[in-house]
């Protein structure tokens, strides 16, 4: 949570922890903790309160009234970071869709100061359209237009993937928890010079580059958006067209921050999101990054069949990147060998050999 706050450009003025058996319906926290938090905000001069949990619209509204500062829950904070990071037109459209859909859930009782936007016509006219109904309709219309534009961009992306498939290009996608070092590894493999920083969600826009992993072996490597615990469903849904790069890939490189104390939990979260977007069955290679922080030697771990199933490397120093190129080359050669094998249709016998025909005669 501290990393999220820092990535949003905020400075932490104070922290408050609380433990409850169940959330309070009105404030999520108990009334005593709300008073304690209010005092902490005044003493620290804080201008916003950030909660590491999803808040209901009523809880957020009640907290803002009690604390006299804007309140961000975990989902809204992630949306704010995405809005700051989006650079491409597609990324901005995806973030705006997610923000509008999140806002639509916050309109309930949000306009109690304006009962109606306009009245009916004449003395016998109806009550008119309520402000909340008007806002919902405007949001719905805007989201529909944005989704149509995203569909058009998605069709362009699918056309590019089909063109790569026609040319028999092996596609590889980098996936993993945010700030695991995917963009740094992408630059180490492709020399693309893409933006990489030690912050959450430094990459939102998918970037694809050609990459040589052997003398005559070339792949297309794609850098994708990182995952995180509690990623808002609106974002997953809005970024579906971008995440399709992972679903359609021939190989996923699951980049893991080997130095993180929450490594196992982060890997499980990535697996969950991949299953949610339909990429659970895509072949995968685990890449344990940042071994320079552990003072561990680079290595390639093989399974019982002798195939590399995990690589330990440092994308920042380049240590062990050669093992990763070797592992990708193995997968490419295996895919080409499988494609070259003759396929037998179900129920259709293979052609008889000449000796078999002579024996039969």
120-154 pLDDT, tens digit each: 444 444 444 566 677 777 778 888 887 788 777 76
Per mean pLDDT, which of 111-115, 255-259, 333-337 is the most reliable?
A: 255-259
Residue with more model confidence, 342 or 76 = 76
Tell me the pLDDT of the chain averaged across its residues: 78
Query: Region 46-53: what's the mean pLDDT?
Result: 91
CB distance 285 to 312 below 8 Å: no
Query: Which tops the pLDDT comparison, 181 or 238?
Result: 181
pLDDT of residue 348: 53
Q: What is the pLDDT of residue 253?
A: 93
Residue 290's pLDDT band (cuts 50, 70, 90): very high
Domain parsing of the chain, residue ranges:
2-72, 169-340
pLDDT 10s digits, 293-306: 988 899 999 988 88
Predicted pLDDT of residue 119: 47
Residue 268: the pLDDT is 92
What confidence tens digit (pLDDT) does each residue in 199-218 have?
565 555 567 888 888 877 88
Q: Residue 241's pLDDT is what?
A: 57
Cβ within 8 Å of residue 256, ≥6 positions away: 176, 177, 180, 263, 266, 267, 286, 287, 288, 289
Residue 355: its pLDDT value, please?
A: 41
pLDDT score, position 339:
76
Distances (CA, A) of 248 to 99, 222, 281, 331: 27, 11, 11, 16
pLDDT at 113 over 60: no
Average pLDDT over residues 75-91: 77
Determine the pLDDT at residue 111: 43
**Which range, of 65-69, 221-225, 305-309, averages the lowest pLDDT?**
221-225
Topology of domain 169-340, CATH: Rossmann fold (3.40.50)
**Are the CB atoms for 63 and 79 separated by under 8 Å?**
no
Q: What is the pTM of this model?
A: 0.68
Q: H helices of the chain, where?
A: 2-7, 31-44, 57-67, 74-85, 89-104, 131-166, 182-190, 233-238, 240-247, 263-276, 321-340, 354-360
pLDDT score for 144 = 84
User: Is-contact 245 231, C-beta < 8 A?
Assistant: no
Cβ neighbours for 84, distance < 8 A, ≥ 6 positions apart? 8, 9
């Amino acid at each position: 949570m501290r990393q999220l706050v820092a990535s949003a450009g905020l400075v932490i003025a104070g922290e408050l922890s609380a433990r409850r058996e169940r959330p309070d319906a009105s404030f999520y926290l108990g009334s005593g903790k709300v008073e304690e938090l209010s005092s902490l905000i005044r003493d620290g001069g804080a201008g916003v309160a950030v909660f590491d949990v999803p808040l209901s619209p009523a809880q957020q509204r009640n907290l803002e009234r009690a604390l006299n500062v804007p309140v961000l829950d975990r989902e809204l904070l992630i949306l704010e970071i995405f809005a700051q990071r989006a650079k491409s037109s597609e990324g901005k459209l995806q973030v705006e869709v997610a923000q509008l859909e999140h806002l639509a859930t916050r309109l309930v009782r949000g306009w109690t100061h304006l009962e109606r936007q306009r009245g009916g016509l004449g003395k016998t006219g109806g009550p008119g359209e309520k402000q909340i109904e008007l806002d919902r309709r405007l949001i719905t219309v805007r989201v529909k237009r944005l989704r149509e534009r995203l569909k058009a961009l998605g069709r362009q992306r699918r056309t590019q993937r089909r063109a790569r498939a026609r040319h028999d290009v092996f596609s590889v996608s980098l996936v993993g928890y945010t700030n695991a070092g995917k963009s740094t590894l992408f630059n180490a493999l492709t020399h693309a010079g893409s933006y990489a920083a030690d912050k959450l969600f430094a990459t939102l826009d998918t970037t694809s580059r050609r990459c040589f992993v052997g003398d005559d072996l070339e792949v297309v490597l794609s850098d994708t958006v990182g995952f995180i615990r509690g990623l808002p469903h609106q974002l997953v849904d809005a970024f579906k067209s971008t995440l399709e790069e992972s679903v359609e890939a021939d190989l996923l490189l699951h980049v893991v921050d080997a130095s993180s104390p929450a490594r196992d939990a982060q890997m499980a979260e990535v697996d969950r999101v991949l299953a949610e977007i339909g990429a659970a069955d895509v072949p995968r290679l685990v890449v344990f990054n940042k071994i320079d922080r552990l003072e561990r030697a680079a290595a390639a771990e093989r399974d019982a069949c002798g195939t590399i199933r995990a690589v330990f490397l440092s994308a920042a120093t380049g240590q062990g990147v050669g093992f990763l190129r070797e592992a990708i080359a193995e997968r490419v050669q295996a895919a080409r060998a499988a494609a070259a094998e003759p396929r037998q249709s179900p129920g259709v016998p293979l052609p008889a050999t000449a000796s078999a025909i002579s024996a039969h005669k």
